[in-house]
Structure 1
């Protein structure tokens, strides 16, 4: 199945999530724009079929390998791409967040109390810049979230010994330092 679900996120009532794995038969060994164009039709089918999500309700981040996390406004009929961002956040029901990762880490930060969530793209640069703890701070500022209430889920990503930098460890450490309890930070430990 091309979609993985994480038990920690599946346990949160009302939260729809999924991690789309590599899609057999879709060549992505081209520039980013062409790869995304090739993936879009299959991703749209997966969103609809496996997650029950209308692809038109999906927000995307431009993903510039930075630290910016943008709040997605509750609106319709607008371009649903947040330029210059590597993270997205919302507290609006029916708004869905999406990012693309290859070897970088997708990090979900979910507040089941305030019904808010963020999704960030964190690789070498984003992790060094602290994008995950920035999302914790943004959720506190914009939605009233408390770090102690958050559930954090990391996706599979590249790790040692396949890569010299253990940015998954950095993400876990930074989230804990931002006040997220260690037992609420989940990492499958899978290397891409």
Structure 2
């Protein structure tokens, strides 16, 4: 398993740069190699403090760093003016090399602060071990990592944690958008004088990992995008779209048909949300699964549903419509339904037994039923079920729209420049969303 050693050279001394020497740092590197039984892990030396000003200070820094930065030997130096900037740059290097196991050597007084930054910037995909590094860099005083449990760390106050979180947010806000401008797809079916809505694409965010780049809107313990990055992407979306991210709610996916009626007890997991509260943004994720938006301009109510193949079979879209009817007195004939970007039958297959369930909904939902893995059209199945539930055919916008300017239900797997796709990208995939809000 690939491993990295991160050596934090930050010192609390007023002028630490003049106390450094190549020899002292090289002794540290030799001790690291000896501790790893002669193996050569990727080593990153991190300097996170204001850079020296004046010619003499610059000469000291240059002499320390020049020969230590040697990527071809698996050794790099990262210098920045803050811990968050330096550590975020280190994270990018780790992700480029697909490294998850990190040994951190740092001054003992830095441990609590570094742990707080790590908890914010990394997910549980990564494993960190912390060991002591004395400021004078004497190799004999380097101790083995003590692990993440059982060690005493000076506690940080709530004020300290708040400062660290604020520093990270400000830094992430300063980062440039990647992969182009933020773009939101909107439906002509949903009246924009009543509802604010849209479907996101993958451009305009700060996620840099290729399969997550750049506007990923979902974080989990299995992916490398931490919640703080997703929150910054969401903040940028909220600014562009015009909703308040503090009153934003996304479904908690369980690939079923449970619906949360906002204002009532919130289930642990659900694939649909409905509300009649103004100014509240609700959303459903999708990365092949269909983000479905429902809007009733008469009763001024709305819903969002996440419809994967399992949820489609269980009727999550119809369940969302039915919740609007039951809770807000909506008439089915008034409800508008828009299916967002999702995987098309061109790219989606299922085992034959599962495909047969779609065939029972409508034979046209399945191609090559006789094959072990037939192609399945979850969009058509969703339309058939919605129409059976009373939604008027003209009130459904999906991939059957022939006008390319009005078709929002594009195949996510076929458009890597626009959308994320689990089918195409594998397990570490990004996520777009469909969102809707009733205007004040």
Alignment TM-score, normalising by the size of structure 2:
0.40
Q: Which residue of the other structure, out of 235, 246, 265, is the alignment partner of 1:44?
A: 235
| Match runs of 1:52-63 below 5 Å | 52-63=242-253
Determine the C-alpha separation between the residues in 2 that align with 1:6 and 1:69: 23
CA distance, structure 2, for counterparts of residue 87 and residue 44 of structure 1? 23
Shift of 1:36: 6.4
- Is 1:186 aligned to 2:397, yes or no? yes
The aligned counterpart of 1:110 is 295
Alignment check: 8 A CA contact 1:110 1:116 kept: yes
- In the alignment, structure 1 residue 6 sits paired with structure 2 residue 197: no
Distance, in Å, in 2 between the alignment partners of 1:186 and 1:100 is: 18
Whose RCO is larger (CA < 8 A, sep 6+)? 1
Query: Looking at CA atoms only, which structure, 1 or 2, has the larger radius of gyration?
Result: 2
What RMSD, in angstroms, separates the aligned Cα atoms of the two structures? 2.1
Task: State the distance in 1 between where 2:311 and 2:411 align.
Answer: 18
Say which SS state the counterpart of residue 195 (structure 2) adopts.
coil
Unmatched runs of 5 consecutive residues or more in structure 2: 1-181, 213-217, 350-375, 399-406, 413-440
1:136 counterpart residue number? 321
- What is the TM-score when the length of structure 1 is the normalising length? 0.88
**1:87-102 superposed matches below 5 A:** 87-102=272-287
SS at match of 1:156: coil
- Structure 1 residues 83 and 29, CA, compared in 2 at 3 Å: closer, same or farther? farther
Q: Which residue of 2 aligns with 1:15?
A: 195
Q: For structure 1, which runs of at least 5 residues remain unmatched after alignment?
A: 75-80
Question: Is the 2:244–2:280 contact (alpha carbons within 8 Å) kept by the matching residues of 1?
Answer: no
**What is the CA–CA distance in structure 2 between the aligned matches of 1:129 and 1:156, rounded to whole Å?**
20
Q: Secondary structure of the equivalent of 1:7? A: coil
Aligned residues: 184
